[in-house]
Chains A and B, each alone.
Chain A
């Protein structure tokens, strides 16, 4: 059952990601990306990371995707500008090499890695406790980062209107 679910989700994630990359229309890409993230959220649930799964759906599938779609609509590309991939053999070689090296790295982990899962459950209470005690300072730093992003966005958007 667990294996079935994993391969279902994994297959869905890879397929959705492929579709995201290869779709000619950006709107389709965005839709497929939501699918990919949904599959990821499912995998998070399998890994007992409940809070992260919910956040993933809310932030990525909800907020970020809406932003993407909104911008795609705003830019409103003409159909002749829709284009597919521009593949260069060098890129394929590079990607292949990278994938090979990653696989080698994972396989090299071997028996050093514990293959049995622990009983950690990523409930909001547990994650929040760690987040607000041990990681309080980075948490505040992230809030500053978000503030900077908000201001940067406003400034950039205004300046583009002036031009």
Chain B
């Protein structure tokens, strides 16, 4: 029995059934969707003992022919190894909890059944990425994830802002997917296969040296497979930028917060944005041979981490703060991969999924209670919403990396990695700043903006209107489960062993291995110092009033405005679209409407009409005239032949 197919089949069947009529009944739809996700979770979990027992070599795979051409047969299959398994557990586990949360959060919404249908569709798409055994299958599910994300962001389709956000997310992802597809095709061209296992087996130094073509004559530049691979790697990185919202394609994620909060938690914190990081780990072998590609991945990650953290310090929308925090954490993961630590990245991805999903659910709970997203209108919610407060607080501590919570192990693993960075990341001054200095600053900023958010939301005097209340159990229960996971996931198994597990599933054998961090005084002190620095600043500014935030704002001046306006990236894109693209479009419109339609198409039509008008005079309706004309024609033919 090929049970892994069930993991894909459950959500797919659920989505189809809900789409094809079951949506009439809200209860059945929700039950079906929940059953599908937990069913997938159960199937996944049943493989866990086998995976632990066999370790790195454990792999299950199966496929069927999907479309055969003369030269290549496209297959659809699954590749279930330790990496996929851990990702599946995260996706189905966190996803399942969020499904339960949504039962409470979406209660009474008229699109309740539709929402669960979309969630199932999303689960199917996402699980397909995780299980895919080849590039084309990943691409199909990549796009499916894009579609379901579009549907979920635009769930409140009556709201124009939600529609715009959905469009923005979709279009931004299209930009990335364009490069992604070209990257897939280049890799496919070089390897002659799209299957990951076959690609990995083919990747040898001899293979890398095979020349593909020659540029500039015999003396010129020989383009080998090695070049092909890092070009393909960079193009694939574009897809990752889109899905994982890395700079410069990050602009959609903050806007995507227009969707319902469970969606933000599921898609834009725990799973979909992690797909890009997961993909990077999956195809890490493509990057490994090229220092250039690795450097670019690391720089992109390091910059995004810092860049997003600075923006998060100047936002007031609770979900946007979390969104930029997500960007920043994803940057950390990408950075870790670029520095040769995909295992650390996976570890952080897992931990991040737990505490960030919990934070989003907490934010959703708060929003549900006070009906605003603005943290300036909250405050003092600690007493009214104790469960939400404690889960939120613990997740914040985990995110900031307070030992011994999960974030400490993975985040400090990444920081440790930056301090022992490979040569390619430290040789160049500029690169060294991006990959080693900024991440540490980012850690301080993380503590600052998270504590700022917590203080403004839960401490101090209530600034809002109405009466905040604790959320129902369907909403608090998933939060509690998630926070337990967030606290323990780093340390329930001893950290060293847990790192060992992640290394066995995600780390190629020949990559440089770094030492797992020890739970020693210096690391703990280091981490605590960072947190205290950030948290202390937030506490001083927003709780005690020791520092007046407005004065800081004034002192920082343009820098603060830069952060507040998200480094003007959106404005830049807007300018590109309105002034360059629009004018180009106008030129195209002129060519199309005036030259092609006006002259060519309408010209042809006009010529035909004029000819017709001329000839139609001879259609008199008189039989006699026709016979006469016909006779003249026959006579002419006869005369010509004589």
Residues of A within 8 A of B (CB): 88, 90-91, 94-95, 97-98, 101-102, 104-105, 108
Contacts and interface: CB of A to CB of B under 8 A. Distances in A.
Nearest to B629: A94
Nearest to A86: B624
A90 B638 CA distance: 19
B631 A101 contact: no
Given A97-B635, A98-B635, A101-B635, A108 B642 contact: yes
B509 interface: no
Nearest to B632: A94
Contact of A102 (B624, B628, B632, B638): B638
Contacts of A104: 642
Interface residues on B, range: under 10
For the residues of B in contact with A, the DSSP-based class is helix
B628 A90 contact: yes
Contacts of B635: 94, 97-98, 101
Nearest to A102: B638
Interface in B607-642: 624, 628, 631-632, 634-635, 638-639, 642
B159 to A, nearest CB: 58
B502 to A, nearest CB: 77
Contacts of A101: 635, 638-639, 642
B409 to A, nearest CB: 85
Contacts of A94: 628, 631-632, 635
Contacts of A102: 638
A3 B167 CA distance: 95
B39 to A, nearest CB: 61
Contacts of B624: 88, 91
A43 to B, nearest CB: 24
B628 A105 contact: no
Contacts of B632: 94
B7 to A, nearest CB: 60
A101 B635 CA distance: 7
23 contacts: A88-B624, A90-B628, A91-B624, A91-B628, A94-B628, A94-B631, A94-B632, A94-B635, A95-B631, A97-B635, A98-B631, A98-B634, A98-B635, A98-B638, A101-B635, A101-B638, A101-B639, A101-B642, A102-B638, A104-B642, A105-B638, A105-B642, A108-B642
A137 B155 CA distance: 65
B633 to A, nearest CB: 11
Given A98-B634, A98-B635, 8 more contacts: A91-B628, A94-B632, A95-B631, A97-B635, A101-B638, A101-B642, A102-B638, A105-B638
A95 to B, nearest CB: 8
A105 to B, nearest CB: 6
A95 B632 CA distance: 10
Contacts of B628: 90-91, 94
Contacts of A97: 635
A49 B632 CA distance: 34
A88 B632 CA distance: 15
A85 B642 CA distance: 32
A107 to B, nearest CB: 10
Interface in B554-584: none
Nearest to B641: A105
A31 B632 CA distance: 31
Nearest to A97: B635
B441 to A, nearest CB: 88
B600 to A, nearest CB: 42
